[in-house]
Each structure stands twice: as structure tokens, then as C-alpha cells.
């Protein structure tokens, strides 16, 4: 997609939205709603990608972060891009890490928009400083210790920006200083503060990746802080905080690192099925990267439905082998004017607990479910349940499902109507994500169906896919998925015992514990 399509009569609005400091849960409700209703989103590395990944499929996405190159000219180019997009009549969310008006050049973007006559709105976000406070238990103000807070940038001054008066700040007592982008020049800053009269022994801390599973705190008295940061290899994003309030952390800290802390985890599930697993991974401190390798598109096959309608009311089986199958079946059923009563006489089979759970959401309980979630096991269990002779059955499926089930049941005397309700196709990855995954393979790659593996291989190419997988820990939801992975030469390191998302996350957590425990 290009940004310079046709100009429209109607002009859109730019929403400068604060995404919060990293955890997607910290965006405001207003910001989230705009992401769901906008036409385009322009984002960079500081905003949680999960927020972008969860936008509806029609939303155009433009990455303008560091990997887009040409960093120095970027600001102007980003503003121009925003104007181009609104002139096409699109409502555009410019998603920014933290708050758009705190060290985020939101003011410069707004100035450009104003000059171009483009309407805009600004939606605040949780800034890194308050996320640091909440994540560490360091109050920014405190009636005993701090009567004021000061936010400063530690970024090297350019000719266009004002210098920070460190020596003067050093003379202020009884408050809290928060320094954004300060780690790179920390020793110079600390030197200036101490030269200006700051107490070298005052409490200070550097907080990395605040309010995420990868939060890390380096604590030291002011004069020791730069050395500690080097020793502990502190990386961006990190915030420096100085003041007596830092001591309160001992009593008030509450966040503990999860088992998956700091792990980058590729989630290959289709977009609409990804948020649940991302939440579960975040809960354990992991950093999910939702890059669906497949897309699920609803399919309405009229002749399939006509056949199926003829057996409504009979005592038959209806068989579901995926969550997507359940969702799209009911969409189709409701669209055709039926409701759940159409299935009144049916017995229901589900391939596994995930599919059974989805059925429960529609008010249907699975009567039959195999121990091992494969189509072959399901088919054999159905045959063992007996009484198939002369019966009809409905197999709800996607376009790629194999027909083992249909064949096995037919051999046992049943007549099976296949009902294709969705189609799977390979998803597109934005070029910079392709680069990210190729250049720095994630710690974990999760596959939750054979088709997610196939999608991964077709997006990346077989050789590179095998290579990337060899440099990551590959996690599979169950034996069918593992089989597909191994057919491409992708070695599966962890297979879930229970073939559900919970089972998959649990298997990862156990694996991390078992591999990090001293022998």
C-alpha cells in the first residue's frame, strides 16, 4: 500500500495517541477504541506491537521506527505521511510510546498538522515516569520525602534543543528528578549534578523496561549509578530516577519477574485468535510478537449448506476440528436465519478442549472428544462410539482440512456432509518484521496448528525458516502440529501435553524452569 493514493474530498483526522510505556494494557480506553475504528495506523518501536496487530484487517499499517532508516529526516517524513493519509480521507492514529507530549515530538507533529490545516486530536498516555513509579513502588511525590517532580531529557543536546540546566537542578532539594533517555550520557549528567551541589549519596535508580515482564532495576547512590549501569549492561529503554523517594521501593515494591521474563515469543496464530495467547504470555512476563502466518477468511459454500440443511432435525453427528470452524459455522448458521435449535437432535464431537470451549461459548457441549487432539484419533473414537451405520454427519472444516475423518466414518457406514466454512491463506508480514525475525530470531516460536507452520515456511522460505527455527526454541501445541513442522525439517523442542493454549503456555513455563535450574 502506498501513502500517495487518490486525494479525497473528505479529509480525515489525525489522532496523536499515547500507547503507554510497553505493556499494551496501559493504553487508554479512548486510544484503544480509536485503534479499532481508524483507517490507518502509523507506529514506531516504542509502542507495543500487540496494539497494532490487534487492529482490524482493513487498517493500513505504516512503520516509521528506527528500522525504517533515515532517522534524522524521519520526523518531517512522518508528518508528511500523516498529511498524505488524511488527505485520502482516512482517519489516522499516530501511535506513540508513553505520552505523545512527553519527549515524543508530539508538539512538532501537531505544529506541522496545524500548518497544513489538518484536524487533529491528542489522546494522553501513561508516560514512562509514572509507569516506573507504579512498577517499582517508588512514589514520585511523598509528603515526607518529595514535594516536587521534575522531568528532564538526558539526550545529548542538539543545536535545536535547549540544554538542561543540570547544575541548577542540583541545587533543588526535597524532590524527585526523572531523566528520560539518560543512560547513554549518565556519567556526564551525574558529574554535572554533583558539581552543582547534589548529594553524591542521594538514592537513585535506573529502571529498564518498566512495567513489563522484563522490568529491571539498578539501584545505587547517585555517584555510583553510572558505574553500576555499565557493570549491569543497562540498555534502552531506561529511566533514571533520583531522590529520597527511591528508598521507599524497599517497602512498596510488588512486581515480580515472571518465568518468561525478557523472552521474545513469536505468535503465529491468525489475528483474531492471537490476543488470548498474547495475554497469557504477558502474564508470565514474556514479550509476545504477534505475527500471524495465516489468515482465516469466512467462506460461504451454498451447496454445502443446502446439503446440511436437509439433515437438520435428524439424529446425527456434527464434528468440529478447530476453533475457527466453530466461530465461522455459527456465523453462517445465524446468517441463514437459524439459531442453536437447528442442532437440537445432533450429537457434537470436538477435536480438543480449545474447540470444546469455543462450542460452550455458543451454548453447545461436546459429547465426544479424543484424548489426543488429532483428526485420526477423533475419527477412531467416533467409530468406537459405534452406531454410525446409515447415519448422516456434518464435518465442519476449512478448505485445507484433510478428509481422513470423512473417509473413516464412511467406511464405518455413515454418510458425511463436508461443510467448508473458512478458507486459510498465507498472511503478509510487513517487510521490517521479516527483517527483525530473520536478523534476530525470537527466543521462542509458537505453532498452534499445522497451517501456522505452513504459513511460516511460505512467508520466510523453507531454508530460512529451518534456520531461524534452529536458533529459537520451537513450541508446538500437539502432535499434528509437530508432524507438520517436522515434515519441513523444523525441530520441535517443546510439545504441549494438553493441546490447548493454556497447555502450550504451561509447557513453555515448565521448559524454562527445567532448563534454567542448576543441575
**Which of the ranges 207-215, 241-249, 258-266, 406-414 carries the binding residues for ligand SAH, by CB under 6 A?**
207-215
d(CA 64, CA 55): 17
Check if 367 is active-site.
no
From 53, 134, 149, 239, residue interacting with ligand SAH (rule: CB under 6 A): 239
- 113, 153, 259, 453 from 286: Cα distances, Å: 37, 29, 8, 21
**Which of the ranges 97-105, 257-265, 287-295, 507-515 carries the binding residues for ligand SAH, by CB under 6 A?**
97-105
DSSP codes, 186-248: HHHHHHHHHHTT--TTSEEEEEESTTSTT-EEEEEEGGGHHHHHHHTT--SSEEEEESGGGGG
Least distance (Å) between residue 45 CB and ligand SAH? 10
Which of 89/184 has CB closer to ligand SAH?
A: 184
**Which of the ranges 205-213, 266-274, 417-425, 511-519 carries the binding residues for ligand SAH, by CB under 6 A?**
205-213
DSSP 416: E
Sheet hosting strand 216-221, strand order edge to edge: 149-153, 176-180, 238-242, 203-208, 216-221
Q: Say whether residue 289 binds ligand SAH (CB under 6 A).
A: no
Q: Say whether residue 209 binds ligand SAH (CB under 6 A).
A: yes
Q: Say whether residue 161 binds ligand SAH (CB under 6 A).
A: no
> Which is the catalytic residue, given 4, 66, 315, 387?
66
Which of 136/293 has CB closer to ligand SAH?
A: 136
From 102, 118, 248, 351, residue interacting with ligand SAH (rule: CB under 6 A): 102
| Pick from 21, 10, 35, 8: nearest CA to 275 | 35
From 207, 351, 427, 474, residue interacting with ligand SAH (rule: CB under 6 A): 207
Which of 139/418 has CB closer to ligand SAH?
A: 139
Q: Say whether residue 43 binds ligand SAH (CB under 6 A).
A: no
> Which is the catalytic residue, given 23, 39, 44, 443?
44
**Which of the ranges 203-211, 262-270, 382-390, 487-495 carries the binding residues for ligand SAH, by CB under 6 A?**
203-211
Q: Which bin fits 411, alpha (ψ -120 to 50), beta or left (φ > 0)? A: alpha
95 is written with which cell numbers? Answer: 501511535
Q: How many CA atoms lie within 13 A of 413 on its CB side?
A: 9
| Pick from 512, 117, 90: nearest CA to 281 | 512
Q: How many residues bind ligand SAH (CB under 6 A)?
A: 22
Bridge partners (DSSP) of residue 475 are: 446, 494
Least distance (Å) between residue 31 CB and ligand SAH? 13
Q: Say whether residue 236 binds ligand SAH (CB under 6 A).
A: yes
Q: Say whether residue 24 binds ligand SAH (CB under 6 A).
A: no
Which of 161/487 has CB closer to ligand SAH?
A: 161
d(CA 76, CA 257): 39
| C-alpha R_g of the chain | 27
Check if 66 is active-site.
yes
From 16, 152, 210, 409, residue interacting with ligand SAH (rule: CB under 6 A): 210
Q: Say whether residue 31 binds ligand SAH (CB under 6 A).
A: no
| 218-255: burial string, b at 16+ Cβ within 10 Å, e else | bbbebbbbbebbeeeebeebbbbbbbbbbebbeeeeeb
429 is written with which cell numbers? Answer: 508480514
Least distance (Å) between residue 426 CB and ligand SAH? 33
d(CA 474, CA 472): 6
d(CA 168, CA 166): 5
CB 175 within 8 A of CB 151: no
All residues at 6 or more sequence positions from 171 whose CB lies less than 8 Å from its CB, including other chains:
196, 197
Sheet hosting strand 60-63, strand order edge to edge: 60-63, 40-43, 92-96, 14-18, 120-123
Point out the residue whose Cβ comes nearest to ligand SAH: 98
d(CA 248, CA 246): 5
Which of 90/210 has CB closer to ligand SAH?
A: 210
Least distance (Å) between residue 212 CB and ligand SAH? 6
Q: Say whether residue 49 binds ligand SAH (CB under 6 A).
A: no
Q: Say whether residue 128 binds ligand SAH (CB under 6 A).
A: yes
Q: Say whether residue 133 binds ligand SAH (CB under 6 A).
A: no
From 55, 78, 91, 127, residue interacting with ligand SAH (rule: CB under 6 A): 127
Site for ligand SAH in 181-200 (CB under 6 A): 181
Element (H, E) at 290: strand 287-290
Least distance (Å) between residue 392 CB and ligand SAH? 57
Least distance (Å) between residue 154 CB and ligand SAH? 8
Q: Say whether residue 494 binds ligand SAH (CB under 6 A).
A: no
**Which of the ranges 91-99, 338-346, 352-360, 399-407 carries the binding residues for ligand SAH, by CB under 6 A?**
91-99
Sign, CA dihedral 267-272-276-278, equals positive
From 24, 98, 175, 418, residue interacting with ligand SAH (rule: CB under 6 A): 98
Q: Which residues contact ligand SAH by CB under 6 A? A: 21-22, 96-99, 102-104, 127-128, 131-132, 180-181, 207, 209-210, 236-239
Active-site residues, by number, are 44, 66
Amino acid at each position: 500500500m502506498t501513502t500517495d493514493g487518490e486525494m479525497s474530498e473528505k479529509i480525515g483526522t489525525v489522532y496523536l495517541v499515547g500507547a503507554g510505556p510497553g505493556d499494551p494494557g496501559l493504553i487508554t480506553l479512548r486510544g484503544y477504541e480509536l485503534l479499532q475504528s481508524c483507517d490507518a495506523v502509523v507506529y514506531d518501536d516504542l509502542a507495543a506491537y500487540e496494539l497494532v496487530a490487534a487492529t482490524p484487517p482493513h487498517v493500513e499499517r505504516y512503520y516509521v521506527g528506527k528500522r525504517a532508516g533515515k532517522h534524522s529526516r524521519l520526523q518531517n517524513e512522518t508528518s508528511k505521511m500523516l498529511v498524505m493519509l488524511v488527505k485520502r480521507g482516512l482517519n489516522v492514529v499516530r501511535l506513540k510510546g508513553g505520552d505523545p507530549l512527553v519527549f515524543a515530538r508530539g508538539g512538532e507533529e501537531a505544529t506541522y498538522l496545524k500548518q497544513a490545516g489538518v484536524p487533529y486530536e491528542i489522546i494522553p498516555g501513561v508516560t514512562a515516569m509514572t509507569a516506573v513509579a507504579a512498577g517499582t513502588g517508588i512514589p514520585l511525590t511523598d509528603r515526607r520525602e518529595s514535594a516536587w517532580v521534575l522531568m528532564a531529557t538526558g539526550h545529548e543536546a542538539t543545536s535545536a534543543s535547549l540544554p538542561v540546566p543540570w547544575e541548577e537542578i542540583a541545587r533543588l532539594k526535597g524532590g524527585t528528578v526523572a531523566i528520560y533517555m539518560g543512560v547513554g550520557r549518565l556519567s556526564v549528567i551525574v558529574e554535572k549534578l554533583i558539581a552543582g551541589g547534589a548529594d553524591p549519596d542521594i538514592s537513585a535508580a535506573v529502571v529498564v523496561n518498566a512495567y513489563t515482564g522484563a522490568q529491571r532495576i539498578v539501584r545505587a547512590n547517585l555517584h555510583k549509578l553510572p558505574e553500576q549501569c555499565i557493570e549491569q549492561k543497562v540498555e534502552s529503554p531506561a529511566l533514571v530516577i533520583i531522590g529520597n523517594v527511591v528508598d521507599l521501593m524497599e517497602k512498596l515494591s510488588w512486581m515480580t519477574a515472571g518465568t518468561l521474563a525478557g523472552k521474545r515469543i513469536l505468535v503465529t496464530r491468525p489475528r483474531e485468535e492471537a490476543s488470548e495467547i498474547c495475554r497469557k504470555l504477558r502474564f508470565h512476563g514474556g514479550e509476545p510478537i504477534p505475527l500471524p502466518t495465516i489468515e482465516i477468511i469466512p467462506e460461504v459454500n451454498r451447496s454445502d449448506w443446502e446439503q446440511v440443511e436437509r439433515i437438520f432435525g435428524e439424529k446425527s453427528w456434527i464434528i468440529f476440528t478447530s476453533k475457527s470452524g466453530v466461530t465461522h459455522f455459527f456465523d453462517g448458521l445465524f446468517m441463514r436465519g437459524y439459531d442453536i435449535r437447528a442442532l437440537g437432535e445432533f450429537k457434537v464431537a470436538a477435536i480438543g478442549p480449545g474447540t470444546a470451549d469455543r462450542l460452550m461459548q455458543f451454548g453447545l457441549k461436546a459429547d465426544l472428544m479424543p484424548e489426543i487432539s488429532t483428526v485420526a484419533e477423533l475419527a477412531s473414537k467416533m467409530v468406537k462410539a459405534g452406531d454410525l451405520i446409515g447415519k448422516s454427519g456434518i464435518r465442519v472444516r476449512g478448505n485445507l482440512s484433510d478428509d481422513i475423518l470423512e473417509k473413516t466414518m464412511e467406511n464405518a457406514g455413515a454418510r458425511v456432509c463436508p461443510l467448508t466454512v473458512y478458507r486459510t491463506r498465507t498472511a503478509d508480514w510487513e517487510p521490517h518484521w521479516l527483517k527483525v525475525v530473520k536478523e534476530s530470531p525470537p527466543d521462542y516460536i509458537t505453532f498452534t496448528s499445522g497451517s501456522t507452520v505452513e504459513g511460516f515456511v511460505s512467508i520466510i522460505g523453507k531454508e530460512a525458516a529451518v534456520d531461524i527455527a534452529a536458533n529459537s526454541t520451537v513450541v508446538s501445541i500437539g502432535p499434528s502440529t509437530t508432524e507438520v513442522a517436522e515434515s519441513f525439517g523444523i525441530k520441535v523442542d517443546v510439545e504441549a501435553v494438553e493441546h490447548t493454549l493454556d497447555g502450550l503456555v504451561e509447557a513453555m513455563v515448565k521448559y524454562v524452569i527445567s532448563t534454567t535450574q542448576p543441575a
